Amino acid sequence: MLASVGALGAAAGIGLAAAVAIPPSLANLSATVYQTPTEVTIADASVMLTAPAGWVVRRPPFDGDDLTLTSPDGRLEIAVTELSGGFDTAYAELVRASGAQGAAAVTETLSSGSRTRHTEVSDDDGGAVLAAVGDERGPVSAGIVARVTDGSIGDYRYAIAEVLDTVRVPS
Using a pLDDT cut of 70, give the percent of the chain over it. 77
* Band of residue 26 on the pLDDT scale cut at 50, 70, 90: very low
The pLDDT, as a whole number, for residue 126 is: 66
The pLDDT, as a whole number, for residue 53 is: 96
Residues 100-145: tens digit of each pLDDT: 765 688 999 998 888 899 998 876 666 789 999 988 777 888 999 9
Of residues 10 and 155, more confidence is placed in 155
The pLDDT, as a whole number, for residue 11 is: 56
Asked if pLDDT for residue 23 goes beyond 70, the answer is: no
Nearest residue to 59 via CA among 97, 92, 26, 102: 26
Encode 31-54: b = buried (16+ Cβ within 10 Å), e = exposed. Answer: eeebeeeeebebbeebbbbbbbee
Q: How many residues does the chain have?
A: 171
